[in-house]
């Protein structure tokens, strides 16, 4: 497994691979890997010839009061896990390499970036789209793999790629969960034991809502209410709970086939996000 730290070397490597007829899959990460990241790496390995994982804690997507400096980092552990999952290259630039001064350009996907998480984190998605654009230009992948854990991010990136004619296929992969249902996240390490226990109420609420949907409940507000009562009973503070259209992220008053229930909530000081699709399970005849 190679470790590449500069944009120039990364581009040279990727151009040589592409000239040799190879396809490149990219899995962008901020490191501190867990099974969620590993599932994306496995998918990338299965789908392309060369698997690149980027590891970059991107300052541009953190707000001024957010956790950039204390975000967990452990390169040795991450590189061991990435290697075991079949990664061929870790692209591991530092902040100076990605944002040499003066840096003046950003990519912003209007409307979608201001909804849901964008309300409490107004600059966040601009940071995400800018860095992903830069990672694509450095790694030159034909395909990039992201988790549905960050569902809004996935919708925004699909829009960016479409709007800007970028020749990259975006793949979304299902959420990997802890045994009690909590969606895996590098930020779960911030939870106290007590908050960690309460945090599973988010996925329980989502499951209860999806079960009610399967039984015929289609009213968005009523489905929202089911999640709300579960997370409130556990003492979590809601940021938002919404039933949204999967493509537009606009509220769905009545659930159709393309809806998703999305949540952000605080367990103590830790902001957690999760979501589940609302899709009718087709019964076998
Ligand atoms: P991060 O390192 O948190 O920026 O995440 C890197 C990628 O892993 C993103 O595409 C995330 O959506 C994805 N990811 C994070 N957690 C999970 C999870 N529990 N299941 C699946 N994918 C995940």
Distance 285 CA to ligand 1 centre (A): 36
Average pLDDT over every residue of 171-175:
98
> Ligand 1: does its nearest atom lie under 6 Å from the Cβ of 124?
no
Confidence grade of residue 87 (pLDDT, cut at 50, 70, 90): very high
CATH code for position 233: 3.30.1300.10
Beta-strand relationship, 24-29 and 143-147: parallel
Q: Is the pLDDT of residue 282 over 90?
A: no
Average pLDDT over every residue of 217-236:
97
Indicate if 7 and 121 belong to the same structural domain.
Answer: yes
- What's the whole-number average pLDDT of the chain? 97
pLDDT number for residue 148:
98
State which residues form the domain around 267. 186-275
Contact residues for 25 (Cβ-Cβ < 8 A; gap 6+): 43, 44, 45, 47, 48, 50, 51, 52, 141, 142, 143, 144, 145
pLDDT number for residue 284:
66
The burial of 138, by beta-carbon neighbours within 10 Å (0-12 exposed, 13-18 middle, 19 or more buried), is given as: buried
Distance 41 CA to ligand 1 centre (A): 11
Q: Within a domain: residue 178?
A: no
Q: Within a domain: residue 264?
A: yes
* Residue in 8, 34, 37, 124 annotated catalytic: 37
Closest residue (by CA) to atom 10 of ligand 1? 146
> Ligand 1: does its nearest atom lie under 6 Å from the Cβ of 241?
no
Most informative mutation of 149, 171, 202, 277 for ligand 1 (most atoms within 8 A of CB): 149
pTM: 0.97
Q: Identify the domain boundary among 144, 173, 202.
A: 173
Indicate if 149 and 244 belong to the same structural domain.
Answer: no
Closest CA to 55 of 71, 83, 79: 79
Q: Within a domain: residue 263?
A: yes
Distance 147 CA to ligand 1 centre (A): 5
**pLDDT tens column, 124-170:** 999 999 999 999 999 999 999 999 999 999 999 999 999 999 999 99
Beta-strand relationship, 169-173 and 143-147: parallel
Indicate if 121 and 198 belong to the same structural domain.
Answer: no
Distance 149 CA to ligand 1 centre (A): 6
> Ligand 1: does its nearest atom lie under 6 Å from the Cβ of 146?
yes
Confidence grade of residue 283 (pLDDT, cut at 50, 70, 90): low
Closest CA to 37 of 190, 191, 187, 186: 186
CA distance 207 to 205: 5
Indicate if 35 and 159 belong to the same structural domain.
Answer: yes
CA distance 248 to 241: 16
CATH code for position 71: 3.40.50.620
- Start-to-end CA distance of the chain, whole Å, equals 48
37 is catalytic: yes
- How many percent of the chain have pLDDT more than 90? 96
Ligand 1, closest atom to CA 153? 12
């Amino acid at each position: 497994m190679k470790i590449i730290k500069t944009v120039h070397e990364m581009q040279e490597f990727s151009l040589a691979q592409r000239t040799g007829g190879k396809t490149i899959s990219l899995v962008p990460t901020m490191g501190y890997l867990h099974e969620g990241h590993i599932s994306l790496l496995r998918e990338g390995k299965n789908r392309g010839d060369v698997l690149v994982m980027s590891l970059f804690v991107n300052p541009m997507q953190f707000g001024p009061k957010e956790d950039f400096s204390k975000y967990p980092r452990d390169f040795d552990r991450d590189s061991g896990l990435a290697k075991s999952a079949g990664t061929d290259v870790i692209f591991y630039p530092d902040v100076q390499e990605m944002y040499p001064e003066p840096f003046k350009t950003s990519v912003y996907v209007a409307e979608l970036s201001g909804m849901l998480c964008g309300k409490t984190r107004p600059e966040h998605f601009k940071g995400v789209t800018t860095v992903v654009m830069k990672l694509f230009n450095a790694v030159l992948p034909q395909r990039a793999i992201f988790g549905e854990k960050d569902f809004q991010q996935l919708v925004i990136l699909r829009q960016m790629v479409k709007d800007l004619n970028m020749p990259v296929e975006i793949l979304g992969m299902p959420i990997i969960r802890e045994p009690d249902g909590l969606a895996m996240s590098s930020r779960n390490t911030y939870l106290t034991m007590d908050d960690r226990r309460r945090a599973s109420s988010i996925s329980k609420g989502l499951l209860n809502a999806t079960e009610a949907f399967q039984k015929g409940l289609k009213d968005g507000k009523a489905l929202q209410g089911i999640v709300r009562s579960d997370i409130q009973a556990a003492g979590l503070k809601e940021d938002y709970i919404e039933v949204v259209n999967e493509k537009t992220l606009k509220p769905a008053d009545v659930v159709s086939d393309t809806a998703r229930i999305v949540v952000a909530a605080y367990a103590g000081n830790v902001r957690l996000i999760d979501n589940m699709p609302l899709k009718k399970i087709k019964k076998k005849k």
